[in-house]
Amino acid sequence: MKHVALGIVIPVYRSTYSVARLTKDIQTVFHDVCTWHIYLIDDGNSEDTVSWLNGHCTGPHVTLIRLKQNYGQQNAILCGIRHCQNCR
């Protein structure tokens, strides 16, 4: 079987607990299946939310990318896709 690398883009705006749960579930599902990386795109959250995400949604397979302000879900997704170009 061909090696699969998966890039997962998750736009984040005013979300904390659901994102933490989602990242843990993704890690559980894909741990032994393929190479994967999660890109959390902070779409203009408050510093409190960003601090919480840094404390609860981190790891070697998770990258938090911060946008300066809220640009909307579509732009956040496009930003994440640009960062995961190496996932093929």
Half-sphere exposure of 11 (CA within 13 A, CB side): 16
Give first-to-last CA distance, the chain, whole Å: 14
User: pLDDT tens digits for the chain (88 residues)?
Assistant: 456 688 999 999 988 889 999 999 999 999 888 888 999 999 888 888 889 888 888 888 899 999 989 888 999 999 999 888 765 5
User: Do 40 and 26 form a contact (C-beta atoms < 8 A)?
Assistant: no
Given this model, what pLDDT does residue 55 score? 87
DSSP 46-69: -HHHHHHHHHHS-STTEEEEEESS
The residue behind tokens 């990386």 is: 37
